[in-house]
Amino acid sequence: MNDFDFLTGTWNVANRWRTDFLDETSEWEEFPAVSRASRHFDGGANFDEIEFPTKGFSGLTLRLYDHEREQWSLYWSSKRTGRLFPPVVGRFTDGRGEFYGDDTHAGEAVRVRFVWSGITEGSARWEQAFSTDGGETWVNNWIMDLTRG
């Protein structure tokens, strides 16, 4: 249940996202961010706020560990919407976390995948991908490379 303990603290974040989250041929846009994360419930909860200074918005993620199911639920919210997005749910195996959920993007139903990988004391990677065909194919549309701030 302590899978997200690594995230505690301040991180500089190099972001790349597609200009169209559903088009794998769209251009990548790069921009910075700063994330501050904290540990709660003896490692069974994690909270972070991330600021995107060149984008003019911020977001937050609440991560909760379900002891019975032995899995995490990750909830994202953006200052732009003020809404809590549907969770992605999953777990870590061999240092890699995979989390899946269902949502909509631009009015279209999407399957969402978050992946945490490359986790060290000073770095980590988060990736987001969307699928419009139930998970048969994926468009990687947002990558965050984190380094200690």
* Structural domains in the chain, sorted by start: 5-148 (2.40.128.20)
The DSSP element (H or E) to which 93 belongs, if any, is strand 88-93
Please check whether residue 95 is in contact with residue 102, taking contact to mean a CB–CB distance below 8 angstroms.
Answer: no
- To the nearest 10°, report the CA torsion of 147, 94, 142, 21: 180
Collect contacts of 48-53 with beta carbons under 8 A, ≥24 apart: 48/7, 50/13, 52/15
pLDDT, residue 1, reads 82
Residues 82, 13: Cα–Cα separation, whole Å? 22
Tokens 């989250």 correspond to what residue? Answer: 21
Please check whether residue 37 is in contact with residue 8, taking contact to mean a CB–CB distance below 8 angstroms.
Answer: yes
Please check whether residue 114 is in contact with residue 74, taking contact to mean a CB–CB distance below 8 angstroms.
Answer: yes
pLDDT, residue 149, reads 76
Q: Residues 84-124: pLDDT tens digits?
A: 999 999 999 999 999 999 999 999 999 999 999 999 999 99
Residues 77, 59: Cα–Cα separation, whole Å? 6
Please check whether residue 147 is in contact with residue 123, taking contact to mean a CB–CB distance below 8 angstroms.
Answer: yes
Tokens representing 56 are 């003019």
Tell me if residue 7 falls in helix, strand or coil.
helix
pTM across the whole model: 0.94
pLDDT at 9 over 90: yes
Average pLDDT over residues 19-36: 97
